[in-house]
């Protein structure tokens, strides 16, 4: 959930490091720092509380020409945001940056204190620096000291280490937290996310679980935890500078909401076939016989990915009557005594491909012999490498912390898998034609919704931005959309928002209706229209302040109504969701919040 950068080469490191941290700031923005070494081993370590901009101001006053360094932008775990808790941390001859959590740091700290070490911060990271220093001696090189320390720690880490007396190398290691190494002639770049490497090099090495690397200028040597040398597989990074720029939009979130028609087309490209009314997926690594045998699908994810799974489950169960779908919150499933039925396939859903709880579930499901397929965006991510097959959603970098385009394409990717399973089971093109046709039209319909409702939604946001509480309600496929819509609002506006199945209002939530709340009623023009309308009427009767969103052209009595003009019937919930994304964005904007980097949140959740 934090960002790591590193550089060793022939240029000034400080500027490269700070530039990389700016791109990684969506991963953590409580504090930031960079440490560099000159050729004689003199260390310069500048740290600041707050965002990278504060660090950049300090760098102007402390500019160095050093050509090796490491940097970090922090999402606080151990210790409050402060300069003393900011990375990099230095103990003795060791300076390091670290993502993850060292679970046994207190035990290690007691041992080191007994040896005479003193610690200045509240972090587990400083303890790790002390542990490496305690093992680093005239008879032990830096690699051996790092490996020795890592054999003693319990927990997760992605780290970059420099030693003041060896200013020609950076040691990096990963266990549960991603790291990427970029190579270009006489330079080596290190980052926890590929976005920090774009523009520097497209030749990258994804550090695998349990690997350690000695990075020198233009050269990398890999080892396992036992110091055995490993071969390095360099890949080409498929990303460009344009993808990580705002391109005239005020915020990345607004850009990513507007990108959804194109990113959804990328998800569907080559996978929908209108001539035969079928779908295909090339990366799932399952035969037709194996697909026919599927009886159960378990969808595992956290937050938005979980809600995407919930929405997709409604659709998948429509395709055939012999598949059951259950959707699990990864952070709960990993600690439960759960049972997996025979003929189960698990869909592991994560935008980053690094979500710690989801990765843990993947490991447990594979241990039980369950075939696991990834629904991920980040190529080369941990989940992408560990699953048995899967579907890349191809939405490009999603920079804003609040997910938008990834949600839409995750749903589509899971629906595609459901269609492929249904086809294998003998469900004909005639029965699936409506789903294929609507999926194909969906990007155009999203584009139309954005163009027709954005201005009115922005105006509504001004009217409702002063509220502190909200209730979202929907039925059937609009229930997961209500959950996701409420999540978006609370994430970026800080309004306390709850999503509920509309039929459950009378079982408790309706007690909350008063003048401090506004309500968002999602009303589809389908067989549940009258029942959904009844829920709205019940709220009106109690003085509610209801915003109704509907694709029905029938008059609806509500304080405000957003009408969607669409012919879609099956996948219309994804149009509702786009409206809720826009609403959350403009409410946050009206309240003066940092839309792309909301407080207390980070993009890639690599800790529990």
Q: Is 381 helix (H, G, I), strand (E, B) or coil?
A: coil
- Smallest CA-to-CA distance from 25 within 48, 45, 8, 43 is with 48
- Residue 55's contacts (CB-CB under 8 Å, 6 or more residues apart) are 18, 21, 32, 33, 34, 46, 47, 48
Are 393 and 381 contacting, i.e. CB atoms less than 8 angstroms apart? no
Residue 426 CA to residue 322 CA, distance in Å, equals 12
Residue 145 CA to residue 141 CA, distance in Å, equals 6
Q: Is 69 helix (H, G, I), strand (E, B) or coil?
A: strand
Residue corresponding to tokens 């400083």: 126
Q: Is 2 a catalytic residue?
A: yes
SS (H, E, C) 4-52: EEEEECCCCHHHHHHHHHHHHHHHCCCEEEEEEECCCCCEEEEEEECCH
Residue 302 CA to residue 394 CA, distance in Å, equals 19
Residue 197 CA to residue 556 CA, distance in Å, equals 51
Token code pair at residue 289 = 């016989």
Residue corresponding to tokens 């959930």: 1
Angle CA(387)–CA(392)–CA(398) in degrees, nearest 5? 115
Residue 179 CA to residue 193 CA, distance in Å, equals 7
Are 393 and 377 contacting, i.e. CB atoms less than 8 angstroms apart? yes
Look at strands 203-206 and 180-184 and give their pairing. Answer: antiparallel
Are 567 and 449 contacting, i.e. CB atoms less than 8 angstroms apart? no
The distance from CA 585 to its chain's CA centroid, rounded to whole angstroms, is: 18
35 forms bridges with which residues in the sheet?
45, 70
Q: How many helices (H) and strands (E) does the chain have?
A: 17, 27
Residue 192 CA to residue 180 CA, distance in Å, equals 6
Are 70 and 17 contacting, i.e. CB atoms less than 8 angstroms apart? yes
Catalytic residue (one of 22, 405, 488, 603) = 603
Residue 225 CA to residue 150 CA, distance in Å, equals 8
Catalytic residue (one of 2, 302, 361, 372) = 2
Residues with a known catalytic role: 2, 603
């Amino acid at each position: 959930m934090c960002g790591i950068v590193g550089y060793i080469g022939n240029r000034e490191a400080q500027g490269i490091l700070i530039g990389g941290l700016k791109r990684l700031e969506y991963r953590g923005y409580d504090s930031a720092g960079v440490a560099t070494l000159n050729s004689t081993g003199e260390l310069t370590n500048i740290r600041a509380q707050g965002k990278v901009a504060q660090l950049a101001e300090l760098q102007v006053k402390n500019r160095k020409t050093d050509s090796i360094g490491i940097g970090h932008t922090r999402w606080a775990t151990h210790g409050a945001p402060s300069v003393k808790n900011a990375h990099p941390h230095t103990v003795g001859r060791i300076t390091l940056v670290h993502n993850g959590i060292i679970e046994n740091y207190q035990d290690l700290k007691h041992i080191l204190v007994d040896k005479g070490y003193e610690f200045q911060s509240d972090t587990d990271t400083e303890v790790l620096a002390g542990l490496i220093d305690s093992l680093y001696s005239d008879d032990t090189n830096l690699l051996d000291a790092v490996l020795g320390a890592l054999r003693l720690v319990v927990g997760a880490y992605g780290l970059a280490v420099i030693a003041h007396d060896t200013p020609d190398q950076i040691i990096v290691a990963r266990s549960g937290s991603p790291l990427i190494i970029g190579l270009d002639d006489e330079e080596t770049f290190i980052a926890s996310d590929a976005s920090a490497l774009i523009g520097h090099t497209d030749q990258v090495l994804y550090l695998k679980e349990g690997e350690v690397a000695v990075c020198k200028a233009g050269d990398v040597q890999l080892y396992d935890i036992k110091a055995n040398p490993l071969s390095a597989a360099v890949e080409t990074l498929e990303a460009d500078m344009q993808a990580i720029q705002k391109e005239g939009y005020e915020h990345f979130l607004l850009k990513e909401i507007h990108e959804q028609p194109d990113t959804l087309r990328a998800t569907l490209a080559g996978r929908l076939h209108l001539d035969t009314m079928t779908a295909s997926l090339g990366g799932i690594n399952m035969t037709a016989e194996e697909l026919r045998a599927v009886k159960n699908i378990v969808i595992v994810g956290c937050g938005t990915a979980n809600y995407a799974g919930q929405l997709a489950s409604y659709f998948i169960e429509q395709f055939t009557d012999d598949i059951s779908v259950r959707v699990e919150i990864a952070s709960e499933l990993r600690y439960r005594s759960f049972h997996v039925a025979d003929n189960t396939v698990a869909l592991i859903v994560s935008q980053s491909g690094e979500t710690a709880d989801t990765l843990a579930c993947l490991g447990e499901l594979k241990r039980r012999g369950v075939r696991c397929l990834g629904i991920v965006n980040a190529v080369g991510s941990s989940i992408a490498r560990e699953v048995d097959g899967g579907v890349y959603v191809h939405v490009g970098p999603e920079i804003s912390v609040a997910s938008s385009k990834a949600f839409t394409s995750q749903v589509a990717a899971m629906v595609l898998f459901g269609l492929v399973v249904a086809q294998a089971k003998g469900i004909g093109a005639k029965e699936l034609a409506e789903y294929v046709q609507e999926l194909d039209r969906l990007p155009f319909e999203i584009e139309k919704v954005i163009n027709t409702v954005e201005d009115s939604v922005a105006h509504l946001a001004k009217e409702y931005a002063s509220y502190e509480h909200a209730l979202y309600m929907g039925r059937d496929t609009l229930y997961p959309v209500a959950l996701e819509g409420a999540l978006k609002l609370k994430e970026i506006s800080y309004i306390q928002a709850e999503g509920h199945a509309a039929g459950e209002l009378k079982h408790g939530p309706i007690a909350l209706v008063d003048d401090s709340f506004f309500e968002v009623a999602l009303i589809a023009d389908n067989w549940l229209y009258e029942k959904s309308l009844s829920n709205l009427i019940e709220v009106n009767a109690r003085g509610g302040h209801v915003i109704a969103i509907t694709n029905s052209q029938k008059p609806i009595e509500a304080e405000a109504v957003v009408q969607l003009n669409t012919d879609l019937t099956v996948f219309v919930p994804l149009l509702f969701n786009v409206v809720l994304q826009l609403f959350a964005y403009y409410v946050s904007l009206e309240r003066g919040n940092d839309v792309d980097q909301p407080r207390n949140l980070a993009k890639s959740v690599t800790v529990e």
